Each structure stands twice: as C-alpha cells, then as structure tokens.
Amino acid sequence: MASFSGIWVALVTPFNQHNVDFPALKRLAQHLLATGVDGLVVCGTTGEAAALDKEEQLAVLDAVLEVAPAHQVVMGLAGNNLTATLQMQQAIAQRDIAGVLVPAPYYIRPSQSGLVEYFTTLADASHVPVILYNVPYRTGVTLELDTLRQIARHPQVKAIKECGGNPDVTMALIDDGEIDVLTGEDNLILSTLCLGGTGAISASAHLYPERFVQLVQQVADGDLPAARANFYALLPMIRQMFSFANPAPVKAALAQQGLLRNELRAPMQTAPLALQQQIAATLAQLQPQDEAVSEIC
C-alpha cells in the first residue's frame, strides 16, 4: 500500500494586507479536504514559503493542523543552509504531521555526492517520512537517477515529487518500486498515473478538486476513456494555472470563487487582468450545469 498516493494539494497561503489570512487559510483547507483530496502540502512553492519567515511558516502549519488531520498534512522544508534547515526540521518535529517535502538546496548547486549527503543528513534527523522534491528549474541542480536511487534506499525516504522533466527517470523510479512517485507537473498527472505513479502534488487541484480525485479513481478502475475525457476537460484550466508565475493564477481563480483575496507577497504579482478574465471563462465551462443553475437562482 502506498504511503503517499492520490491528490495532494500544494496549498496556497492567503494574505490580507500583507499578513497571513488565517481564517481564509483554514476555510480553504477545510473546503479542499471535504472534496476528498488525500492531503495538503503546506509552505511549498505554491504556498510562497520563500516569502514567509520561519515563524510565519510554523504558524501557517499550526493553523492548517487545527482543521486537518495530521496524516493529511505535509510540510515544506527548504533551504540552503544545512544547520538552519536542521533547526527548522526540529521545530516542525514538535508537530504531528505526515511528512516533510524537501528540495535540493537551492542556488549553491552541490555535486551529486553532496546531494546524497544533504538528504541523508536530513533523513537521519527526521522523525517523519521524507518526500524528495526534484525541481531543477527552481534549485539549479538536477537529482540524477543514480543519486535518487541512493537516497531512496534510506528507510525514512518514502516518496518523490518529480519535476525533473525526464520521463526516463520517472519511469525508472516507478519500476524500481522503492518509493512512491508523485508528479509535480500537473499536465502529466494522467500519464504518471497510467505509468504506475501513485498520484500528484498539484497546485491546479485547488480548482474542481473533486475532478482530480475522480481522475485517480478512474485510472485505478481501469476506465481510461473516462479518465482521458476528464483530464482533457481539465487541461485548459491546468495550462492557465501555469501561464503566469505560480501561484498568481491559482489565487486569481480562488478569489473569483470567493475563497480568498487575490493578494501575493512582493516581488510576486497578481495575474494580469486579461488572464483573470480568461480564467473566469474557463472555470465557467467546467462548472457543472446544476451548480450554475443554483447560483443563478
């Protein structure tokens, strides 16, 4: 049985006049869990963690844990100072959570052996499962397949969020069966599931999350025609969510749904007005007919 499977939403952090909007955060977390998603990833890239100080990150985690079961909450753990990252890991460890999502140390571009040492040190110190995050276009370094295989042998490393852009690596990790493979590229959710991956950590699944949950079940049931129809209906929205710097389009869409304010922390900017209008049109097309009727009434 997979430790990490299905749809995990890479949760945005709502703001209100530059401060974390904790009521909106908790409402959003409750809303998403009620749709059947498997869990929430707090303070990842989509959560603008780099724009939050450590106290704010822990406060965001605590707020989510007030409304979400611990086994459905993963916390982002990113940095390039190993000592500081270990200190943050110790602070996170005071909470009961499902795991930590850990990318390579950004900007410094360590060697592959340096990456093995970095992740091994964090995994040795972790009291919860570790999810690797391979995202070279943000960190500046690619976790190569041999490196990933070495790290995956650590008993505390349970999964990977794969955004490396190399399908051969994805397939090799799935075939190895050592860790759960979740895609972080939302346009690859269907193909990853069909290849045997366990799910996705998704930003676009904030929107119509029940459709993403349904997609996982359709593939599990072997109903590929239904899965394809569902996925290709979602694909225009998925593409829009990444047509401008994440999470600006997601926040624009959630604001249109009344779930939060359309606010990001500088230097991030809100999505252009033209894109916001396109998002509104796309969401209207995805809206179930009975829901649209009830809103009009």
Q: What residues are designated binding site for pyruvate?
A: 46, 201
CA distances from 2 to 6, 69, 115, 158 (A): 9, 18, 25, 9
Joined together, the tokens standing for residue 252 give 């624009």
Asked if residue 227 lies in contact with residue 186, where contact means CB atoms within 8 angstroms, the answer is no
Q: Which of 106, 107, 118, 161 is catalytic?
A: 161
Q: Three-state SS string across 218-260, please?
A: HHHCCCHHHHHHHHHHHHHHHHHHCCCCCCHHHHHHHHHCCCC
> Catalytic residue among 133, 158, 208, 251, which?
133
Give yes or no: 106 in active site.
Answer: no
> CA 13 to CA 260: how far, in whole Å?
9
Residue 189 to residue 288: CA distance in whole angstroms: 22
Residue 133: active-site member: yes
Alpha helices in the chain (DSSP H): 22-34, 54-67, 82-92, 112-125, 136-139, 145-152, 167-176, 189-195, 209-220, 224-241, 248-256, 273-286, 289-296
Report which of 268, 227, 266 is spatially closest to residue 250, judged by C-alpha positions: 268
Q: Tell me the torsion sign for CA atoms 254, 255, 256, 258.
A: positive
Q: Which residues are tagged catalytic?
A: 133, 161
